[in-house]
Amino acid sequence: MRPSDDKLHAAIIMDGNGRWATARGLPRVAGHPAGAEALRRTVEAAPDLGIRILTVYAFSSDNWQRPRTEVSALMKLFHMYLRRERARCVENGVRVSIIGRRDRLPTMVLPEIESAEKATVEGKKLQLRLAVDYSSREAIAAAAKKLNGHATRDRLSAALGGPDVDLLIRTGGEQRLSDFLLWEAAYAELVFTPVMWPDFQASDLAAAVAEFHSRERRFGAVPKVALA
């Protein structure tokens, strides 16, 4: 489904926390709290830039392969972020939802997820979707299985439950999607930036949105100038 102009869906692969910390002589895990602050800045800036849906890649299903100490630190940070930001989200009209598997998450995290989703359900200014233990390939496979051989483009989109992505940003200098919203990003405009996620500012988000608006989205059609 093509989005309306007043409901921009931006998705961000928040990359570079570990490298940011290492470059400063710090343990890799020190980059993640700094990344949480970057997320707070981004959530605050998004609505004024016309973003109504923001999906961020917080923890992929492949991230379980990271060192146990780093995974544990990430889960504790996720727990703390949900608890700390819940009231702020309610106040600012931000609706929080989690996409991805929940059966492998630590039990301490699950009540915070439920509490954040319930407390912010009336938020209208911005929908913040946190992808945690998320794999797009797994999500597509599960949706296809659910449709039991009756999959079509529209049915798969509905089963996946997420809107199409308009703008996909990846920080940290890498240029790949890393199993993130593969179906939903079929016609997304891609913006890659060398800025490490902890250094990502509202101005970087504004620059990406401006780049998005400078492009002509044709969805496979002939350019408008060619029809003149």
Other C-beta atoms lying within 10 Å of the C-beta of residue 125: 14
| pLDDT at residue 3 tops 50 | no
Q: Which residues pair with 96 in a beta bridge?
A: 128
Tell if the pTM clears 0.85, that is, is over it. Answer: yes
185: exposed, middle or buried (Cβ count in 10 Å: 0-12, 13-18, 19+): buried
155: exposed, middle or buried (Cβ count in 10 Å: 0-12, 13-18, 19+): middle
pLDDT tens for residues 77-107? 999 999 999 999 999 999 999 999 999 999 9
Number of helices (H) and strands (E) in the chain: give both, helices first: 8, 6
- Backbone torsions φ then ψ of 129, nearest 5 degrees: -110, 120
Other C-beta atoms lying within 10 Å of the C-beta of residue 213: 13
Positions annotated as catalytic residues are 15, 63
Over residues 23-45, mean pLDDT:
97
Over residues 50-79, mean pLDDT:
97
Q: Which residues pair with 57 in a beta bridge?
A: 13, 131
Cβ(50)–Cβ(8) below 8 Å: yes
| pLDDT at residue 158 tops 60 | yes
**Helical (H) or strand (E) element with 132:** strand 126-134
pLDDT band at 162 (very low <50, low <70, confident <90, very high): confident
Q: Where are the domains of the chain?
A: 8-63+125-214
The answer to whether domain 8-63+125-214 has CATH 3.40.1180.10 is yes
Other C-beta atoms lying within 10 Å of the C-beta of residue 146: 13
